Structure 1
Amino acid sequence: MKTKIFTITVIIMMLNSCSKDNHYPPPNPNLRYFKFSSCDHTTYWQNTFFIAATSDPIVIKQCLDELILPVNSRTLFPLGIIKQGNGGYNNNGAHNFNWHYVDASWELVEVGIEIYDGCAYSEAELDNYANTIGRYGGWNNRIVGEIYP
């Protein structure tokens, strides 16, 4: 009898462990997280994507509207204030960026002045973007999806 109970328990545990949930809740339920392609002229994998988060309903709508479009029709890129630290989410795989967009300080735009342009991996320029220029907006950055970290 104990063997049957043990066997049934093990089978139930195995079945539960096989279920897949690809939509993990975000660390901060007030934020939505979006992945952006970056610097398509580089071959370094860590430079190809970054993540931005927002709770601003207007920016969320902008992001979702862009995602409806075919990839080659997406023209908007994020522009806004950045801060030091990855914010707990701005990474590309194992690479953690040392910056992140400040929530409610960025939006998707069609144009930005050249001084805001650059690549997400420009960590050597962090002080310049964060403290001198005050904003970052790489012209080639494009939204590729919503993620659930």
Structure 2
Amino acid sequence: MRIELTVNGTRREADDVWEGESLLYALRERLGLPGSKNACEQGECGSCTVYLDGTPVCACLVAAGQAQGREVTTVEGLAGEELDPVQQAFVEKGAVQCGFCTPGFLMSTKDLLERNPEPTDPEIREALAGNLCRCTGYEKILDAVRAAAVAKR
């Protein structure tokens, strides 16, 4: 089947989508957007987080057909001509190690700061609870979220 959706502000079509194919697979393999990572395929790690009509979702758990006619924002869509303040803060604070979890953390952080521009540490931890990192002790990630909050004000 063919699905038509808006991805990062551009109308796109994906052909030969099979029934039950994940949005993550369609984004990565059919539309050439490898930013969202395929890690657990169970919605546990957050590496595949994208926005679907402005709501963060695990793209591995959403059937591609459910995105028909809808708007998707991937990590590739965060930056314009310059990095988004969230992306910049992650770079400056060294919150990126292997980078596998980074797209999910960026999307979750962006969502948090849009809803709550001055989050407390417990609010940050709660917002990022659905994202797992195997490389860090999370402190640099928390530093990056705090710095992004300051930069966005």
Query: Do they superpose with TM above 0.5?
Result: no
Specify which structure has the higher proportion of helix.
2
Q: TM (normalized to structure 2)?
A: 0.25
